[in-house]
Amino acid sequence: MFFLLSKIIGFVALPSNAIAIVCGLGLLLLKRRRAGAGLLTVGIVLLLVFGYSPVGNVLLLTLSNRFPAWQYDGRDPDGIIILGGAINAGASVARGSVETNGSAERVIAGLELARRFPKARVVYSGGTGNLIVSRVPEAPIAGRLLETFGISPERIILESDSRTTDENARFTRKLVSPKPGERWLLVTSAYHMPRSIGVFRKAGFKVEAYPVDWRTRGWVDALVPFDRLSAGLARADTAVHEWIGLFAYWLTGRSDALLPGPRSD
């Protein structure tokens, strides 16, 4: 039920979809001139604000800068967890190739870490989070990609059942049974790291953040407007989706904090 509700609410709450709904209602109410014109005006203003202003970057940067880049301290990790969301599973199966999306850095960083630390186990956690189109899980495709780049099959662990970040954490912990004192790195997009760390902590799986896929240069981008409406809307959609996820996970007890951050323990 949580998965279904999260998809429905997430769809309606995305700025691009919400603006379309507002404009659609405005068109339907044009016969009532004042109400229809008012809704259309609100929709157009929101479209311009979310499409061209840097509001999407501001929302994303607050999340992306929460965890700093990982620094090697001389102690090798025992395991590397790559969260799904980087592979277009449906297109990969249809085309007979590995098709990635805007979060491909997760896979690239995972491969780099796997080759850098040859004794570490490599977990790819990713089923299918798509409610309508593709029912093909990401993990088997990622597994073949890891092997293609020379990662030994004995090191690879695939988790193919998860549909949400919460399930990523719980299913992965059950699958690998981490031992006390082991060091595990968690690879995911920087803006997605706070929610990911929150659910892994809640699941009792101690991991270290390895953020990638930063999307921005830093706070300098909080002052730079977008030159394409579609780019601004896409950035705002990504940011709002993540903020909604953070709030929902905290409200339902799936995360240990509303906005998890680094801590020393």
pLDDT in tens, 61-111: 999 999 999 999 999 999 999 999 999 999 999 999 999 999 999 999 999
Q: Is 85 left (phi over 0), alpha (psi -120 to 50) or beta?
A: left
pLDDT at residue number 219: 96
- Taking the C-alpha atoms of residue 16 and residue 70, their distance in angstroms, rounded to an integer, is 33
Tell me if residue 77 falls in helix, strand or coil: coil
> 47-61, 119-133, 168-182, 232-246 — which is least confidently predicted?
119-133
pLDDT, one tens digit per residue, over 222-252 is: 999 999 999 999 999 999 999 999 999 999 9
Q: CA-CA distance, 185 to 187, in Å (whole number)?
A: 6
Q: What is the DSSP letter of 100?
A: B
Residue 127 and residue 136: Cα distance in Å, rounded?
7
Domain ranges for the chain? 2-63+223-251, 69-212
What number does CATH give the domain 69-212? 3.40.50.620
